[in-house]
Amino acid sequence: MKIALIQQHATKDYEENLKRGIESFHQAARSGAELIAYAELAFSPFLPQIPAEPGSLAKAEPIPGPTTEEFSNLAKQYGTVVILNLFERDGERTFDASPVIDADGRLLGVTRMVHIMEGPGFHERGYYVPGDRTDFVYDTSVGSVGVAICYDRHFPEYMRFLGLQGVEIVIVPQAGAVGEWTEGIFEAELQVAAFQNGYFAALVNRVGKEDVVHFSGESFVVNPHGRVIAQAPQGEDFILYADCDLSLIPETPAKKHFLQDRRSDFYSKFGLQD
């Protein structure tokens, strides 16, 4: 499976951001990408870099809605799976949400970020309600796809849950800043998760300097043996391609040993959830 991660900057002009995102979709699909993914809030400024104010939540959009309709048409046109990330409105609640659209244009479902960050440049609790969905894995035309939105990737329980659900690739829409982490630790984090759980993982990051946060880019893909197999540069718009051979997964240590040898009966003695 050939995937494409769209690493792009965002201005305050939503329509211009969306136009560039669509142009990149055309380019990636014509280059043979079977799955295309975008970064966190790819088509808008990163709203939570500034604390929420009256009117901030008015920028949220419904799912399904105009943006998902646009990409459903593109997915169907090219026969390509697409994972977006949008500021979703559902009634009076708003979410950090990733719609998953299959290659025939069907909206398979929406993953909502579960863990909500609050810190300098990431004032997310004023924008997002914690996700309430229980479906995290989608059977697409190219394989079993899971989504871990940004902060969710830091929680081993979440990443193990995806592995137990049989996911083959985890897409991580990301908003990661320059200097936010110790060099190499974000790669190492997903390398370990992929190795321990037996799946590919693809992190697609924002890029560019905005009002408060300077996003680094450096999107990357790791295989289920824990190796980084592709990485985008820092500081520039880029389409990162990677070939993910899903046939490798059954022979990984996680599938042959780790997941089979888990001791749920033992863990339960300490009140740990399976």
Two tokens, residue 159: 């990443």
> Where are the chain's structural domains?
2-262
**ω before 54 within 30° of 0 (cis)?**
no
87-142: per-residue pLDDT in tens?
A: 999 999 999 999 999 999 999 999 999 999 999 999 999 999 999 988 889 999 99
Q: What pLDDT does residue 19 have?
A: 98
Q: What pLDDT does residue 264 have?
A: 86
Q: What pLDDT does residue 93 have?
A: 96
Q: Can you tell me the distance from the alpha carbon of 212 to that of 53, in angstroms, rounded to the nearest whole number?
A: 16
Q: How confident is the model at residue 31 (pLDDT cuts 50, 70, 90)?
A: very high
Q: What pLDDT does residue 274 have?
A: 58
Two tokens, residue 262: 């888990």
**Architecture per CATH, 2-262:** 4-Layer Sandwich (3.60)
145-202: per-residue pLDDT in tens?
A: 999 999 999 999 999 999 999 999 999 999 999 987 778 888 999 999 999 999 999 9
Q: What pLDDT does residue 268 have?
A: 81
200-237: per-residue pLDDT in tens?
A: 999 999 999 999 999 999 999 999 999 999 999 999 99
Backbone angles phi, psi at 34, to 5 degrees: -95, -15
Q: What pLDDT does residue 134 have?
A: 84
Task: Please answer whether residues 207 and 189 qualify as being in contact, where contact means their C-beta atoms are separated by less than 8 angstroms.
Answer: no
- Residue-wise burial string across 219-228, b where 16 or more C-beta atoms lie within 10 A, e elsewhere: bbbbbbebeb
Mean residue pLDDT across the chain: 95
50-100: per-residue pLDDT in tens?
A: 999 988 899 999 999 999 999 999 999 999 999 999 999 999 999 999 999
> What is the DSSP code (8-state) at residue 61?
B
Q: What pLDDT does residue 180 have?
A: 79
Q: What pLDDT does residue 273 have?
A: 66
* DSSP helix/strand/coil, 115: coil
Task: Please answer whether residues 74 and 29 qualify as being in contact, where contact means their C-beta atoms are separated by less than 8 angstroms.
Answer: yes
Q: What pLDDT does residue 157 have?
A: 94
| The dihedral sign for the CA sequence 104, 164, 261, 202 | positive
Task: Please answer whether residues 100 and 140 qualify as being in contact, where contact means their C-beta atoms are separated by less than 8 angstroms.
Answer: yes
* DSSP helix/strand/coil, 60: coil
